[in-house]
């Protein structure tokens, strides 16, 4: 069982432990809002069958206590709530499990094969940042030459990013794909704009957090892909809940790697068994055209292939297993144990199972030729000299290659490394520690300066903003059951019983018609339900709307206890006899 599996098990159990009220409220909130923030006003419009408004409020409070809903203050005693992003996967699997989605046929045309992968883009950007001092301008933006170089490095193309989905604050400074990659570096905690630590002039640049880098490189490619997918879903999914549900449905475990799927089947809830009970009609719909930008982003990031059927319908298939992302856990699958190949023509072949620590080290003294199934790097005179000048001497290179080589180390390559390394000007050498990863040395560069710039490439989406406000995913992930410390007292949510005669809630009896009407109106005002007797049957009633002249009260009527559907009825004076108010505090 992987760590993800444990995480998954814990999360599900925690969901199972919720009371029926909590579970119901959570399910409706998730369905209505997904990860989008919502306010008390939004909650008031949320109609959940058989639950009064007060019960919904109470449910929300209980869910906050259990960490299933987070709140952020908007000031003036106003709150904004949301389901923490890392919980959405559990909810998708518990409340939104897909019914069998049929496979689409092999597409007649391949629209876009998934690119090399966003993990490699992040990796190559890190290598470039490590090799080059990435200074920023006085405006806090990377210098143009670096941006141009990063554009060359990235496999992600600007065409993969639809401005309708992704907007960046500094879109005039950064091409969108670079903005996204830099945003990922920041979100992953791998790099930030900080002081370059030069004594004379206070300059800033993109500084790699070497400890975080060491930890990142220890991950398997699968884990990197999933972690980045998770962040993309968190930061790049449009606010529209229907869109968010679609994005999560895409990650359903039944849509296995390699199976072509018509995404049109995932746009609505028709394949989502849990939606059938939702009669509120409040869920907005998503059109195929709206969903395409997300698919294109996924293809650009190497997660899916996109094809087109004979009838012009778009189909997709996963190139990986997105399962861990669904649950918000990350497989700590073994980082590969593969080794690289040193070819006599100085090419260094890096199979996909080579650990990223080794790949990173090799990248520091080679030139990258291509990233593909097998990545190809090359040892050149320049790359070795450059490495030597940066403090990675020929002996270190040889030592690393000897250790990492799968099948021998040609003599002449070894000789050439020594010879080229000698050509570098020793006086420029920096301390040779950069090949050591995953240890304290990596932290050395991280304390260069603590004055972090604001994120110049931040995503401009509300989803990203609420994430910032409600706490980062990383934090939430480490403390999945964190309780909101700003929780109000439960009594503050309940009706002020001192203003209501005690018998209204305690005694089961008939009242004079004027009192009975008053009790109904009070129940409506307090958003609580009543127990009433109609034709000798005990029923529960949730008043929704009051009518005058003649007096009527419209609301949901249903028998207590049973699961049967509620009926919307209009009651006039005298249509019920015994009654009492049901205050949710007794739940």
Q: Which is nearer to other proteins, 106 or 481 (CB)?
A: 106
Task: State the residues that interact with other proteins by CB under 8 A.
Answer: 110, 113, 116, 258, 305, 341-345, 347, 349, 351-352, 370, 372-374, 381, 406-412, 414-416, 419
In the block, residue with structure tokens 């699997």: 93
Residue 241, token pair as written in the block: 């809940």
CB of 255 to other proteins, least distance (A): 17
Q: Smallest distance, Å, CB 217 to other proteins?
A: 22
Of 258, 287, 242, 244, the closest CA to residue 104 belongs to 258
- CA–CA dist 122, 472 (Å, integer): 20
Nearer to other proteins, 163 or 344 (CB): 344
CB of 182 to other proteins, least distance (A): 26
Yes or no: say if 239 and 290 are a contact pair by the CB < 8 Å rule.
no
Smallest separation (angstroms) from other proteins to the CB of 160: 16
Q: Evaluate whether 454 touches 183 at the Cβ level (below 8 Å).
A: no
Of 416 and 587, nearer to other proteins (C-beta) is: 416
Residues paired with 191 in a beta bridge: 208
Nearer to other proteins, 211 or 317 (CB): 317
When the beta carbons of 208 and 354 are compared against other proteins, the nearer one is 354
338-345 CB contacts, 8 Å cutoff, 24+ apart: 338/406, 339/404, 339/405, 339/406, 340/401, 340/404, 340/405, 340/406, 341/405, 341/406, 341/407, 342/401, 342/405, 342/407, 342/408, 342/409, 342/410, 342/413, 343/410, 344/410, 344/412, 344/413
Query: C-beta of 370: minimal distance to other proteins in Å?
Result: 7
Give the number of other Cβ atoms within 10 Å of residue 445's Cβ. Answer: 19
Provide the minimum distance between the beta carbon of 415 and other proteins in the complex, in angstroms, as a whole number: 6
CB of 111 to other proteins, least distance (A): 10
Least distance CB 103 / other proteins (angstroms): 15
User: Which single residue is written with the structure tokens 């089961």?
Assistant: 508
Quick one: 116 or 520, whose CB is closer to other proteins? Answer: 116
- Nearer to other proteins by C-beta: 292 or 409? 409
Residue 326: alpha-carbon gap to chain centroid: 9
Both tokens of 136, joined, read 């920023």
Q: Are 283 and 27 in contact (CB under 8 A)?
A: no
Nearer of residues 407 and 483 to other proteins, judged by Cβ: 407
CA angle 374, 376, 378 (to 5 degrees): 160
């Amino acid at each position: 069982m992987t760590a993800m599996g444990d995480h998954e098990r814990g999360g599900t159990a925690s969901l199972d432990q919720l009371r029926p009220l909590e579970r119901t409220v959570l399910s409706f909130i998730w369905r209505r809002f997904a990860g989008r923030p919502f306010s008390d006003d939004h909650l008031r419009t949320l109609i959940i069958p058989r639950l009064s408004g007060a019960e919904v409020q109470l449910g929300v409070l209980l869910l906050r206590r259990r960490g299933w809903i987070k709140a952020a203050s908007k000031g003036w005693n106003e709150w904004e709530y949301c389901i923490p992003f890392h919980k959405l996967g559990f909810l998708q699997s518990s409340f939104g499990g897909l019914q069998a989605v049929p496979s689409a046929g092999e597409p007649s045309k391949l629209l876009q094969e998934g690119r090399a992968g966003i993990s490699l883009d992040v990796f190559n950007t890190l290598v470039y940042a490590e090799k080059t001092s990435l200074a920023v301008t006085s405006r806090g933006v990377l210098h143009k030459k670096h941006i141009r170089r990063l554009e060359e490095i990235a496999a992600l193309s600007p065409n993969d990013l639809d401005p309708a989905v992704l907007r960046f604050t500094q879109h005039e400074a950064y091409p969108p794909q670079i903005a996204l990659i830099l945003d990922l570096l920041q979100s992953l905690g791998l790099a930030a704009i900080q002081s370059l630590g030069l004594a004379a002039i206070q300059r800033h640049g993109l500084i790699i957090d070497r400890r975080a880098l060491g930890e990142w490189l220890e991950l398997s490619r699968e884990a990197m892909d999933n972690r980045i997918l998770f962040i993309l879903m968190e930061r790049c999914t449009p606010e529209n809940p229907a869109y968010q549900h679609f994005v999560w449905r895409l990650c359903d475990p039944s849509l296995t790697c390699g199976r072509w799927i018509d995404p049109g089947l995932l746009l609505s809830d028709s394949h989502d068994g849990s939606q059938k009970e939702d009669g509120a009609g409040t869920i907005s719909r998503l059109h195929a055209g709206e969903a395409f930008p997300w698919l294109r982003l996924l293809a650009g990031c190497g997660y899916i292939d996109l094809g087109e059927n004979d009838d012009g319908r778009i189909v997709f298939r996963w190139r990986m297993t997105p399962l861990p992302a669904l649950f918000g856990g990350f497989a700590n699958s073994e980082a590969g144990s593969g080794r690289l190949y040193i070819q006599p023509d100085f090419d260094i072949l890096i199979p996909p199972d080579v650990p990223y620590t080794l790949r990173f080290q090799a990248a520091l003294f080679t030139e990258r030729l291509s990233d593909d199934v097998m990545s190809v790097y090359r040892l050149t005179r320049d790359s070795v000299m450059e490495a030597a000048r940066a403090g990675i001497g020929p002996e270190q290179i040889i030592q690393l290659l000897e250790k990492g080589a799968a099948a021998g180390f040609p003599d002449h390559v070894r000789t050439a490394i020594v010879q080229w390394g000698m050509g570098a000007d020793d006086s420029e050498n920096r301390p040779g520690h950069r090949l050591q990863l995953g240890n304290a040395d990596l932290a050395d560069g991280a304390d260069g300066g603590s004055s972090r710039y604001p994120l110049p490439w931040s995503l401009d989406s509300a989803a990203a903003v609420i994430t910032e406000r409600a706490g980062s995913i990383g934090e939430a992930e480490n403390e999945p059951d964190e309780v909101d410390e700003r929780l109000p007292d439960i009594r503050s949510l309940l009706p002020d019983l001192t203003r209501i005669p005690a018998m209204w809630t305690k005694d089961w009896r008939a009242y004079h018609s004027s009192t009975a009407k008053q009790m109904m109106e009070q129940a409506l005002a307090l958003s609580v339900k009543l127990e009433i007797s109609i034709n000798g049957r005990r029923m529960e009633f949730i008043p929704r709307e009051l009518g005058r002249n003649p007096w009527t009260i419209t609301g949901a009527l249903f028998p207590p206890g049973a699961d049967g559907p509620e009926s919307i009825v209009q009651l006039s004076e005298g249509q019920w006899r015994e009654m009492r108010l049901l205050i949710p505090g007794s739940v």
